[in-house]
Structure 1
Amino acid sequence: MTESLAGKVALVAGGTRGAGRGISEQLGAAGATVYVTGRTTRSQKSEMNRPETIEETAKLVTAAGGTGIPVQVDHLVPAEVQALVQRIEDEQGALHVLVNNIWGTTKIEWQKSVWEVDLESGLHTMRLAVDTHAITSHFALPLLIKQPGGLVIEITDGTDEYNSKNYRNSFFYDLAKGAVSRMAFALAHEVKPHGATAVLLTPGWLRSEFMLGEFGVTEDNWMDATRFQPHFAISESPAFVGRAVAALAGDPDVARWNGESLSSGQLAKVYGFTDADGSQPDAWRYMVEVQDAGKPADTTGYR
């Protein structure tokens, strides 16, 4: 179902690390030109105070076979996003894929009610997780819909089905993820008349740089983390969701997914791609049938 993405232009908004880095690299592996945006560069860190940079991600894109172009952008600043889209149009003449992956928050107060959390911190999370996506879509979509076949992917955490039945243990986190889900649904209606497609996509339990650090492991020895959290055995690398995005972007019949809530594990079965280790982790089915059901960790039949 997939085709080469050579000649295609993608914008991965929020591509510094995690899912954004994996998506950028896999789009590059399919031959795309990828604009990688974020706030952290070699010379300046964002409020997240992480070491990963947009230059590193762009270098990975190019090494994978594509063309990586890092652009420092704060997606809360409309003028910066507008300038980014104008640059893409000036340099490439088109935008074929928009991946809204911006997150960037530093503080989630888990297991606290809305009246117990720091209000300004919670509202800042909403701005980073929701306003950024709306601002980026506002400026990028006019370029994307100039020709039919464009693809918009809203990245979230959790399928619509899962999130509709499960509270995500934080008022603002739950609200942010729900808003992004509804945004994908709304965009699907708005871009369809222009021959474009919009979807919601979630990875499973992602082995991001942050998560690996929390467990004190690396990608090479990540299974050691199951000593502390056995269900981490269902986790996936950022390459897995990256391959899901590349598969969607290369599918000539991608419009069949318009408005759908999708997961990397679900799409792996449709398109036949695997994670970096050759497995196909189906995290959200595992969450419901094993982890949330209180069963012992066992990924048999889920990888």
Structure 2
Amino acid sequence: MVNGEGVDDGTSPGRLQGGRLQRGGLPGGGLQGKVALVAGATRGAGRGIAAALGEAGATVICTGRSSRAGNAASDYDRSETIEETAELVTSLGGAGVPIRVDHLEHDRVRALADRVRGEFGHLDVLVNDIWGGEELAGDPAQWDTPIWRLDLDAGLRMLRLAVETHLVTSHFLLPLLIERPGGLLVEVTDGTTEINASSYRISVFYDLAKASVNRLAFSQGHELASHGATAVAVTPGWLRSEMMLEHFGVTEDTWRDALNPERPDGPVAPADFATSETPRFVGRGIAALAADPERARWNQRSVTAGDLAREYGVTDLDGTQPDAWARW
């Protein structure tokens, strides 16, 4: 059961078998000796997932386009880098390895796979979290614009960033994942299969992008099963990413100020922002999933960060188990 502090006390049916649990239900050392690669680890969910895998003791290869060496290839002109993420992984008990990669460039991803094979010999966990299309979706005033009025090039760019990158990454890296049984592929998206099947999401291009990634987990899970590997689609809830906090003019320490309807110094967040989560929350669920010896039972499923938290007893950094998707 999860006790009053949101910590698994060991009696929950979702408790990991073997290995100790740290506060928050995180498997302490549960991924020691495992090699994970988080594609799109620069910021947001990708950084949170990489950090949580590091908490669990994994070696985490952090890829992305934004590097201290420059971020000209990135769709975002932001300060976060893969080196920062790798350093965070290491500070939390794992081993962070930053590698600058544009996952639309086939030769770069092929070289990444060769490097992983040469330096580590295998891959246990692959997380496809590449996105980069948030600005292409436009602000709320542009949502619900019909396809014939949308910028076609921007829409197709969104699909390349959200879907083609995942296909390219899987093509070159899954051969490493299936070399020994037990590999885990996580496809990170926005909204579950069920939610996206019944809800229109912003625009034709955005809607297709998010629904497609869920289907990728289903189809790749079909192909991976015979190799003893598992594919799962995972969606965070309302993520307090660097960009989201910046939008509301708050920090992680002051994020609740955005809910104040009388705040004088920034936009007011909708009431649902109260159920938002840090990027580490979805990461902790994925880390627990990766450490579960029976993870194959999740194959081809589409789940939320909240689903994983309830199953494994993990919590967010403040000890809570937020679930922004519950209202859906």
TM-score by length of 1: 0.93
**Residues in 2 aligned to 1:232 and 1:255: alpha-carbon distance in whole angstroms:** 33
- Partner of 1:274, secondary structure, is coil
- Partner of 1:283, secondary structure, is coil
State which of 55, 60, 85 in structure 1 corresponds to 2:88: 60
**Residues in 2 aligned to 1:132 and 1:69: alpha-carbon distance in whole angstroms:** 20
Q: How does 1:136-147 map to 2 (within 5 A)?
A: 136-147=169-180
**Residues in 1 aligned to 2:64 and 2:284: alpha-carbon distance in whole angstroms:** 21
Per-residue Cα deviation, 1:151-189 (whole angstroms, up to 9, x for no partner):
000000011111111101211110001111111100010
Length, aligned pairs only: 287
Per-residue Cα deviation, 1:129-149 (whole angstroms, up to 9, x for no partner):
100000000000001000000
State which of 299, 304, 321 in structure 2 corresponds to 1:263: 304
Report the CA distance between 1:67 and its aligned residue.
0.3
1:28 aligns with 2:61: no
Unpaired runs of 5+ in structure 2? 1-14, 20-29, 261-267
Corresponding residue number in structure 2 for 1:162: 195
Corresponding residue number in structure 2 for 1:87: 115
Q: What is the RMSD computed on CA atoms of the aligned residues?
A: 0.9
Report the CA distance between 1:150 and its aligned residue.
0.2
Q: How does 1:118-129 map to 2 (within 5 A)?
A: 118-129=151-162
Corresponding residue number in structure 2 for 1:43: 69
- Partner of 2:234, secondary structure, is strand
- Partner of 2:147, secondary structure, is coil
- Partner of 1:133, secondary structure, is helix
Runs of 4+ residues deviating >4 angstroms: none
Corresponding residue number in structure 1 for 2:136: 107
The amino acid across from 1:35 in the alignment is I
**Residues in 2 aligned to 1:89 and 1:72: alpha-carbon distance in whole angstroms:** 17
Per-residue Cα deviation, 1:183-235 (whole angstroms, up to 9, x for no partner):
11000100000000001000000000011111111100111111312210010
The amino acid across from 1:166 in the alignment is S
Contact 2:146 / 2:204 at 8 angstroms: preserved in 1? yes
**Residues in 1 aligned to 2:294 and 2:232: alpha-carbon distance in whole angstroms:** 13
**Residues in 2 aligned to 1:214 and 1:107: alpha-carbon distance in whole angstroms:** 16
Contact 2:137 / 2:202 at 8 angstroms: preserved in 1? no
The amino acid across from 2:284 in the alignment is R
